[in-house]
């Protein structure tokens, strides 16, 4: 971090006391948000790093699986923000390097089982496809990445090993992280493409199809009143949410007991990052 300009990053921290939200242990979380300068053909990058450790001398194990709740509409600014309801993401092209999606129950909670995207064409985004290509009611699905697209940065490490590990250099100090992205979102109309890289094993893709214009509030910067209940909130399909994290409730599955179970023990560091690279592409 010392190599970064002082005005290019922010570091946030939070201490969650023992029992917060029902989870054991006092958890220290630090989040780094950094802007990486642009390079040829790129407009720059955004890097978010989540780190956690358990405080105290008592041996504790707790579940940690953090993500960034961000949504994207690459065409919203084309209308000056005044007609966001018309700026649907259905014409955005999406690529997700995943062979499987998680099966969900009636409450959108994972069952622990997976379905191959090869038998669900509407969820096969290996080849870039328009989000609105299939007449689905909407997307609210967890996509499990192909192993080759998961960035090889440890998701957990021993606190005693930190002196010999540099987990930030590759993702912060290079204008090209290298390798293919796990997710790519682009709008030819806007001339913008986003590429995502992460050490997390999957992404939750939500197409905002449950949005109700009469509820909630739309931000002023998006052309709304900013007031809840004014009837000018966001419409369905106005954003593509891409939330990178490990499979949900992985610790409940017996087969994960000796693997990636999303459990953090005393003496360990939780390490989660996502890097978003912004590119300018040719418009039609």
Q: pLDDT category, 255, cuts 50, 70, 90? A: confident
Q: Domains of the chain (ranges plus CATH)?
A: 9-280 (2.70.98.10)
* Angstrom distance (rounded) from CA 181 to CA 177: 9
Contacts of 183 by beta carbon, 8 Å cutoff, 6+ apart: 94, 95, 96, 97, 195, 196, 203, 242
Angle at 97 between CA 130 and CA 177, to 5 degrees: 110
Cα–chain center distance at 181: 13
Measured CA to CA, the distance from residue 30 to residue 50 in angstroms comes to 6
- Say how far apart CA 138 and CA 146 lie, in whole Å: 23
The residue ranking higher by pLDDT, 212 or 32, is 32
* DSSP 3-state of 8: coil
pLDDT-based confidence at residue 2 (cuts at 50, 70, 90): low
State residue 78's pLDDT score.
78
Question: What pLDDT shows up at residue 230?
Answer: 84
The SS3 of residue 167 is: coil
Q: What is the DSSP letter of 255?
A: G
Query: pLDDT tens, 48-100?
Result: 999 999 999 999 999 999 999 999 999 887 765 455 555 789 999 999 999 99
Higher pLDDT, 253 or 105: 105
Percentage of the chain modeled with pLDDT above 70: 94
| Average per-residue pLDDT for the chain | 89
Give the DSSP letter string of 121-164.
GGG--SS-EETTSS--S--EEEEEEPGGGS--S-SEEEGGGGGG
- Residue 84's pLDDT is 52
Q: Please give the structure tokens belonging to residue 259.
A: 């693997």
As a whole number of angstroms, the distance between CA 242 and CA 67 comes to 9
Would the CA dihedral through 199, 196, 41, 10 be positive or negative?
negative
**Span of 26-35, 151-160, 172-181, 239-248 with lowest mean pLDDT:** 172-181
Cα–Cα distance for residue pair 237/148, rounded to 1 Å: 30
pLDDT, position 146: 97
Tell me which DSSP letter residue 235 carries.
P
Name the phi and psi angles at 172, rounded to 5.
-110, -40
CB distance 71 to 194 below 8 Å: no
pLDDT at 243 over 80: yes
Helix intervals (H) in the chain: 169-172
Q: Which residues contact 259 (CB under 8 A, 6 or more apart)?
A: none
Q: Model confidence over 139-169: pLDDT tens digits?
A: 999 999 999 999 999 999 999 988 888 888 8
Q: How many CB atoms lie within 10 A of CB 27?
A: 21
8 Å CB contact between 10 and 1: no
Query: pLDDT tens-digit profile of 185-239?
Result: 999 999 999 999 999 999 999 999 988 888 888 888 777 788 988 888 888 899 9
């Amino acid at each position: 971090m010392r190599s970064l300009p002082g005005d290019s990053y922010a570091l946030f921290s939070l201490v969650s006391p023992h029992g917060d939200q029902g989870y054991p242990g006092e958890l220290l979380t630090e989040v780094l948000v950094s802007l990486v300068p642009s390079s040829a053909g790129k407009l720059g990058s955004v890097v978010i790093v989540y780190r956690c450790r358990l405080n105290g001398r008592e041996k504790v194990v707790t579940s940690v699986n953090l993500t960034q709740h961000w949504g994207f509409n690459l065409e919203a600014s084309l209308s000056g923000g005044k007609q966001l309801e018309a700026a649907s993401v259905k014409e955005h092209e999406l690529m997700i390097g995943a062979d499987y999606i998680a099966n969900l129950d009636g409450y959108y909670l994972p069952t622990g089982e997976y379905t191959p995207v090869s038998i669900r064409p509407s969820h096969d985004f290996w080849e870039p496809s328009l989000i609105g290509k299939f007449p689905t009611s909407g997307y609210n699905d967890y996509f499990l990445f192909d192993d080759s697209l998961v960035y090889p940065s440890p998701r957990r490490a021993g606190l005693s090993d930190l002196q010999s590990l540099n987990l930030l250099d590759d993702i912060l100090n290079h204008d090209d992280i290298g390798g293919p992205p796990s997710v790519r979102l682009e709008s030819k109309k806007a001339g913008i493409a986003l590429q995502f890289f992460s050490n997390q094993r999957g992404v939750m893709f939500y197409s905002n199809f449950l949005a109700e214009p009469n509820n909630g509030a739309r931000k002023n910067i998006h052309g709304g009143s900013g007031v809840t209940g004014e009837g000018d909130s966001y419409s369905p399909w106005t954003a593509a949410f891409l939330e990178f994290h490990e499979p949900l409730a992985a610790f409940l599955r017996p087969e994960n007991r000796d693997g990636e179970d999303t459990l953090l023990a005393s003496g360990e560091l939780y390490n989660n990052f996502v890097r978003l690279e912004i590119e300018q592409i040719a418009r039609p």
